[in-house]
Amino acid sequence: MTPLIKTLGYEIDTACIATHHQPAVLVEFALSREVDSRQLLRSTRIQLEEFRLAEKRISPDQYLTLISNCRKLVNADDTSFLYGQRLWPGCFGAASQALQLVSNLRQAIEIICDFHAILSPLFTPRFYANEQELFIFWQDATGSDEQQQFLIEAHMTAFISMVSWLSKEKMPWNFEFTYSEPTYIEQYWVNLGQDLAFNQQMNCMRLPIEFLDKPWPNASQISIHGALKETHKQLLSLHSPQSFIDQLYDYIQTHIRQPLNLEKVSAAFGISPASMKRKLKKHHTTFQQQIDLARKNTAIYLFQVKHFNNQQIAEYLRFNDMNNYRRAFKRWTGLSPYTLF
């Protein structure tokens, strides 16, 4: 059987992030806090000169080490938020240019989602909407493990800060986080807003739908097309427009109504089950965890957007009886489906 997926996405050890993009923003911030550059770059295998040369690409793994060093050395609660504020639109070539020219929130979300390999290589934003609300949820793209919370804080702040700068408007965003309330909650209040919920099912931002197509000032309907074209070229020059974990998630999501197992999915990716397992381990996850994640997110999507009830969700996900569904749901979320929906 020929594999369905031609090129495998970038992994935690693929050199795919331009050093002068996100890593440079972080290094610049750390240096402004009088951190020693040698200590900052310790065991990242990056030289300070490489930021000036702007040629090298580093792996997510190296970038995560850099983040870990920066957090330790700066040692302040607001590191992720200040880094996030400086992130977007940023100086990431045509993608940043396109972001500066967007005419409404929908366009901004589309650019962030379509070109996340350039703009946000470690965390993938995903978007959907129902009649009342729009949802953007963020998913780990390369197994960031201990740096997950830092990256969520940084990316959400980056998005909120960019949107309020470009739209010149304060929007009533709601936030949901999978982790429990941190001790430095005041940073969330000041940088994100007051509507926060912790210990939830997704790392998600919600907003009333009327903001989605509201026109923004300084938009440029015509010149944005040139920038978008250039961004597509930029995306093609990358190793791949998606991470391996994203590809796997997408594959499971599209085939969620079929019986899936490790052998079948590995074959679709053109790799052996053993190397699939090895790759997943490298990203601190397992096959079952990925299946559970996709099923949980699908269930939430069906409930929020299609307004399915538990019976319909169980049917959609091909559960034979409600008891199995309830047990599985409990495993995905830690809660009974009847308390959540």
Partner 1 sequence: MKKRAFLQTCYSYGLAIAIGIGVMIISVWGDLKPTVEISWLDVFSEGGMVILALFWLGLLLRSRPAGRVTQLLALGLCAIVFSWSMDVVDEFIRMPSTLIWHNWLESLPIPIALVLLSIGIYHWHQEEIAISAQMVKRERYFREHRLFDKLIPVGGAAYLKKLLKLSLAESKKLQQPLALIAIDLDNFNMINRLYGPEESDHILQLICQLLVLNLRDEDLICRLAGDRFVVLLHNTSEHEAQQMSMDLQNAVASFAYRTRQHHQRVYLSATVVTTMARTDDSDSLIKRLNLEISKTRQQPSNAL
Least Å distance between CB 162 and partner 1?
Answer: 9
In sequence order, what are the beta bridge partners of 205?
136, 175
Give the shortest CB-99-to-partner 1 separation in angstroms. 13
Nearer to partner 1, 46 or 192 (CB): 192
Min. distance of Cβ 144 from partner 1 in angstroms? 24
SS3 call for 178 = coil
Q: Which is nearer to partner 1, 34 or 49 (CB)?
A: 34
Three-state DSSP at 142 gives coil
Q: Closer CB to partner 1, residue 75 or residue 289?
A: 75
Residues 6+ apart with CB under 8 A from 25: 83, 86, 87, 90
The counts of H helices and E strands in the chain are: 18, 7
Q: Which is nearer to partner 1, 18 or 74 (by Cβ)?
A: 74
Instruction: Measure the CA–CA gap between 155 and 56, rounded to whole angstroms.
Output: 23
Q: Helix 273-282 and helix 287-304: axis angle, to 10°?
A: 70
CB 71 within 8 A of CB 25: no
Structure tokens at 188: 């969330």
| CA–CA gap between residue 197 and residue 176 (Å, rounded) | 5
151 vs 166 by CB, closer to partner 1: 166
We find the least distance from the C-beta atom of residue 188 to partner 1, in angstroms, to be 8
Q: Which is nearer to partner 1, 145 or 186 (CB)?
A: 186
Strands (E), 76-192: 123-129, 133-140, 174-176
CB of 167 to partner 1, least distance (A): 10
Question: Judged by CB, which is closer to partner 1: 88, or 303?
Answer: 88
Distance from the first to the final alpha carbon of the chain = 41
CB 195, min distance to partner 1, A: 9
Q: What angle do CA 16, 19, 23 make, to 5 degrees?
A: 105
Minimum CB separation of residue 29 from partner 1 in Å reads 8
Summarize as ranges the residues that interact with partner 1 (CB under 8 A).
Answer: 29, 32-34, 74-78, 81-82, 85-86, 161, 164-165, 168-170, 183-184, 186-187, 189-191, 193-194
d(CA 35, CA 257): 51
